[in-house]
Amino acid sequence: MEESELIKRKRALLQTIIFFDIFDFALTREELCDYMLYKKWTLAELKEFTNHELFLVETHSHVYLKGRPLSVKVREDKEHYARKLIKKTKKYVKFMQMLPFVRMVALCNNLSFYNAERESDIDLFIVAKKNRMFLARSMVWLYTQILGVRRHGRKTRGRFCLTFFVAEDALNLEHIKLENDIYFVFWLRLMRPLIGHEVYKDLIAENKWINRYFEYEIDDKKHLLPESKGLKKIQRITEFLFKGVIGDGIEYVLRKWQINRSLKKAQKLENRDGIIISNNILKFHNEDMRAKYHSLWEGRFGQFEEFVQASPLSDYDKQFLLQYHRTQTPFGVRSRHTDDTKSETIVRHLQKEQIQVD
């Protein structure tokens, strides 16, 4: 493998792990291979790299940064809550197949990769039929409100957050992405469609920019619910009732009311980066954390840049470093098989990043 390719793969490995480490979330080996930036890896390839990289730890189940073993326990706790929320989500989203003009419902944000806490809500991304988005949104709102599972006020725990709707003619979301926005990149990659798989495939096809980050096919079916012929029949009947002039009139009234109401709420916010209000997109995220996440991601990766650029260490060098970690040998001691440049790079890194050492 050429050195340039080696460096590229080391960078992808670290960048992927560090993104999830921001959330104190250690990945399993299978997840790391599946979510890897740029190119997917095999488990054998991952094993080869983790055997040679001293800043990573691989257990029987997880891979994490050295000095971050707690991220495994935190991840297990988060996954416990997430699985409960996902089970609840499927229970209710199944019946959204009957709601008129709803074309796709997907899990998104942190819950899509099992990152949840006791007080977490359930974020949904919903695609609606062209020229019927506001009617579809009203139906979803009514459905979740009647069942008492819609998030509002202080009632957030385990409830549905209906803050992101788009119409079928607005599936290209590149204009939403910030210039530096690793969170949005993984947001789209990790989206979990529950109903409307064909529309999900259209969504991925429309967002070709994602291929700059993942050079492989993205097609998630992990949580896809089976299509119900009975529920889809109800949907066709209700859509028939709202077709033509009648449906256009109701859509016009709902659009005008919802947009005016949303604009009034948005005016009260200091930061509106997470707000989009238009005829084919409604996005309400009062606190947009994407810039902060990207800054954390870049900062942590910068701590390891020297090791990404460094050539692989010899077995003797590895033993020297491991002995150094154990005995806390004074800085400046060098391996007799390590050239001065490599030794100085290692020492500088250890001096700067002692927290990364178990």
Confidence at residue 167, expressed as pLDDT on a 0 to 100 scale:
98
What does the pLDDT read at residue 312? Answer: 53
pLDDT band at 343 (very low <50, low <70, confident <90, very high): very low
pLDDT score of 164 more than 70:
yes
Mean pLDDT value across the chain: 85
Here the tokens at position 276 are 């989009």
Residue 144 has pLDDT above 60, yes or no: yes
Q: What is the pLDDT of residue 316?
A: 41
What is the model's pLDDT at position 52? Answer: 65
CA-CA distances (angstroms) from residue 30 to 45, 82, 189, 202, 224? 12, 18, 16, 26, 20
For the chain, percent helix, then strand, then coil, each to nearest 5?
55, 10, 35
Q: Is 22 helix (H, G, I), strand (E, B) or coil?
A: coil
What local confidence, expressed as pLDDT, does residue 75 receive? 93
Kindly state the helix (H) or strand (E) to which residue 64 belongs, with its residue range: strand 62-65
CA distance 282 to 266: 12
* pLDDT (tens digit per residue) in 79-123: 999 999 999 999 999 999 999 999 999 999 999 999 999 999 999
Count helices and strands in the chain by DSSP H and E runs: 13, 10
Cβ neighbour number for residue 117 with a 10 Å cutoff: 13
What pLDDT is attached to residue 85? 97
**Higher-confidence residue: 237 or 324?**
237
Q: Quick one: pLDDT at residue 53? A: 67
- Does the pLDDT value for residue 356 go beyond 60? no
**pLDDT above 70 (res 336):** no
Torsion of the alpha carbons at 57, 37, 300 and 112, rounded to the nearest 10: -90
Asked if the model's pLDDT at residue 355 lies above 50, the reply is no
**Mean pLDDT confidence for 65-90:** 92
Contacts of 341 (CB under 8 A, 6+ apart): none
